Each structure stands twice: as C-alpha cells, then as structure tokens.
C-alpha cells in the first residue's frame, strides 16, 4: 500500500471463523466502527435521519437488534464476529479518514487542492453543489487530483469516506471542467460501479465533447474485438444524434459478424439514431428486414426505425 496516497488499498482475504453469523451484521459492525466511532447510538441517529451514507439493506430494526445483542452480551460484538481481514479493512478505511482530516490540521497552499477534494468527499450533502463549484473553478490544475480519485478503487466502497459516491462526484467535476486528460480515466471507470455510476461517467464524456467522441471512435475500431469495443459503443450512445457517430457505428455493424457479436451489435444499433438525415437511413431500414439476422437484433433495429417515424 502506498502510505502517502489516501486513495489506494491493499487487502487480504481470510476465512470467517463464524460462518453462521449474518453477513449483514458484519456490514453493520464494520460501518459502525468506521463511520460512527463504534457507537450504535450515532449510527441509529444517522439512519433515522436518512443520512447520505445510509445503506438501503441495513434496516433500523437490524441495527437495533444488534445493539440489543451487544448490550445483552456486555461486550463489543466486532471483536467476536469480525474476521481479521474485516478488521484490517476497517483499519484501512479509518486511515483514509485520518489522511483526509490531516489536510485540515496543516492547511497550506501546497495542499489546497487536496483540501477541496476532501471537502467534496466528506460532504454530507446529497448534492454538494458548493464543493463541486469550488473544484470546477480551479479548472485544469485540479484535474490530476480528480483523476486520482476517480481511479481509486477504495472510494467505490461504501465503507470508505464518501460512502462510495466520491468517484461519481469526481466524474461530475471532470465533465464540468471538460479537460481532455480525463477521457481515458472516465472510459476506464465504466463498469467499475453500477449503472448509475456509468451514467455519470458517460455524461462527463459527452460534456468533454469532440475530443471524447474521437477517442471513442478510435477505440471502437480497434482489433481484435474485446470489451473495450463494447464500452466505446455504449459511450457513443451519448453522441447518437451526431451523424458522424451514427455512420461509423452503422458501417461497423455492416462489417460485423453479428451472430458472433450480438452484444456489440446491439450497442452499435442504439448509436445509429443519427442516421435519420443521412443516405444510410434507407440502407439501415433494409438491413433490419434481413431474415438472417437474429430476432433480437431485428427488433432493436426496428425500434430505432420506429423512432424515426415519430
């Protein structure tokens, strides 16, 4: 682990000596110890007020039940139920908090940008508009720090500062700044989180505009075909109204062995909406009627053609 970098991790797996213990209880104890100072009362108050970091699967009833169990046993349940690997993960998350807070202990011109990043991560606002605006105002000089946060695997974990939202916020800032240096990292982040995470990264690429579009078109046409081609096609849906993008995707679709690459073909089709004002519109509609195409592909193509009809 790079001890100078609060955005990196190094963890190990360990067998759970209590296999019958509820996994949700393990999660509750870990989050209690990291985010709430080991106090059930603080955690319950936070969840009753629907704090930003509340996890949907952790119900108030479950937290209260675990608290009652701990009171009845008169001992810290974390010491009984958590594995060594889980305890180590708690230590790593606490250390990440400490490194962020240390930035405020010794404020300087040198760590000003990192303090702005810390403000963003530690904000309890669902929409930290003020923190985002302060970062975006720094423009290109803060982009490397935002990219570092976007690429930090730990900060996708709700156990760490920011409750798993920090990379999304970094992506939003990068999109608003519009610096082309962020393109590759935004592209690489696709698939790291859930669909919501991907939507934010995709929108950020769209905001960067032409440089992002050209990068994605280049990746789309790389060989041999792999997941990067699919991710590029997904991202190009953000530019589907652009005739250049729609044409490039249609040309690739025609050259593709569709039966062997149905997933990629589907993404290419969805990016073809911009063909409506091009000479390829009629050719697309004719291809959609090809009996040799898989049924799902023909349905997707007809869906696009139907949209053209209003």
d(CA 310, CA 259): 29
Domain for residue 257, yes or no?
yes
**74-94 tens-digit pLDDT:** 999 999 999 999 999 999 999
| Domain limit, last residue, from 178, 208, 238 | 208
Residues 201 and 100 in one domain: yes
d(CA 291, CA 277): 26
Domain for residue 24, yes or no?
yes
Domain for residue 4, yes or no?
no
**147-199 tens-digit pLDDT:** 999 999 999 999 999 999 999 999 999 999 999 999 999 999 998 766 678 99
> What is the reported pTM?
0.88
**101-117 tens-digit pLDDT:** 999 998 898 899 999 99
Domain for residue 230, yes or no?
yes
Residues 198 and 225 in one domain: no
Name the 3-class secondary structure at 37.
coil
Q: What is the pLDDT of residue 11?
A: 41
Query: How many domains is the chain built from?
Result: 3
d(CA 55, CA 63): 12
Is the distance from CB of 23 to CB of 86 less than 8 angstroms? no
d(CA 175, CA 4): 27
- Mean pLDDT, rounded, of the chain: 92
| Domain limit, last residue, from 156, 180, 208 | 208
Name the 3-class secondary structure at 241.
coil
Give the structural domain span for 73.
17-82
Q: What is the pLDDT of residue 2?
A: 47
Residues 167 and 157 in one domain: yes
Domain for residue 180, yes or no?
yes
């Amino acid at each position: 682990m790079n001890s100078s970098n609060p955005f990196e991790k190094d963890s190990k797996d360990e067998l759970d000596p209590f296999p019958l213990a509820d996994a949700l209880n393990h999660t509750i104890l870990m989050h209690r110890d990291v985010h709430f100072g080991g106090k059930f009362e603080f955690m319950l108050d936070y969840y009753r007020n629907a704090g930003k970091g509340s996890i949907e699967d952790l119900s108030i009833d479950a937290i209260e039940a675990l608290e009652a169990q701990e009171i009845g046993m008169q001992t810290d349940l974390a010491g009984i139920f958590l594995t060594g690997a889980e305890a180590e993960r708690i230590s790593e998350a606490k250390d990440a908090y400490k490194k962020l807070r240390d930035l405020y202990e010794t404020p300087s011109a040198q760590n000003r940008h990192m303090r702005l990043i810390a403000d963003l991560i530690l904000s309890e606002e669902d929409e930290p508009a003020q923190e985002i605006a302060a970062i975006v105002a720094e423009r290109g000089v803060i982009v490397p720090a935002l990219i570092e946060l976007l690429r930090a695997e730990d900060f996708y974990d709700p156990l760490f500062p920011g409750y798993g939202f920090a990379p999304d916020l970094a992506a939003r800032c990068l999109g608003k700044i519009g610096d082309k240096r962020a393109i590759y990292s935004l592209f690489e982040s696709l698939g790291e989180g859930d669909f919501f995470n991907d939507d934010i990264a995709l929108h950020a690429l769209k905001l960067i505009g032409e440089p992002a579009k050209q990068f994605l078109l280049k990746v789309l046409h790389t060989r041999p075909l792999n997941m990067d081609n699919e991710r590029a096609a997904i991202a190009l849906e953000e530019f589907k109204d652009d005739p250049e993008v729609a044409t490039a995707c249609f040309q690739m679709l025609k050259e593709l062995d569709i039966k062997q690459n149905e997933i990629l073909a589907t993404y290419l089709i969805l990016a073809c909406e911009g063909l409506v004002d091009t000479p390829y519109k009629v050719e697309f509609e004719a291809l959609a009627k090809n009996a040799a195409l898989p049924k799902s592909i023909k349905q997707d193509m007809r869906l696009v053609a139907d949209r053209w009809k209003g």
